[in-house]
Structure 1
Amino acid sequence: MANTLLADVTRYLDGPGKDVDVALREMLPGLRFSFNSMIARAVDKIATREPHEQKAMVQRVQDAIAHLGAEQQAVRKHGELIIRLFNKLAMIAEESQLDEETEALIREVFPKDADELIDSDSILDIHKLSLSDTFKTVLKRTLKLGLSTERHEVAAALGADMLNIETLLIEKFLGFYNDKPADIKNYIYIAWALWAYLVAKQKEVLDAHGDKALPFYGGIPGDVRAITLNYTAFLEQSLGDSKTIYFHGGLGNYVRMDTRDLLPVDDILKCDPAQFIREVVVPNVDVNHEDLRLQRHVIPALVPPLRLKPILSHQYIELWSRASDWVKEAEHVVVVGYSFNNADEHFNDILRCHPDRRIDIVVPEATSPAFVARMEKVFGTAANQYNTIKVNGFSALKAKKVRLISAKAGDVNLADLFEE
Structure 2
Amino acid sequence: MPRPATAMIIVRLGLITLCALWMHAAAARELGAQAGGASWVGAWAMAPQAVAQHPAAPSYDRAPAVFNATVRQIIVPTLPGPALRLRLSNRFGTQDVRIDKVAVAMVRRGAAIDPATLRTVLFDGQAPLRIPAGGSRVSDAVDLPVQAGKALAVSLAVHGNVTPQTWHKLASQVNFISAAGDHADDAGGAAFTRRVTSYLWLDGMQVRVPAAEHAAAVVAIGDSITDGMRSTLNADRRWPDALARRLREAGIRNLAVLNAGISGNRLLHDSPCYGISLEQRFARDALDQPGVRAVIVLAGINDLNFGFVAPHAGLDCDVPHVKVSAADLIAGYRALIAQAHARGVVIDGGTITPANLPPGRETVRRAVNAWIRHSHAFDGVIDFDAALRDPAQPSRLLPRFDSGDHVHPSDAGYAAMAAAVPLGLLQARPSAPTLGAGGGRAVAAASP
Give the structure with the larger strand fraction.
2
Same fold (TM over 0.5): no
Give the structure with the larger helix fraction.
1
- Larger of the two Rg values belongs to structure: 1
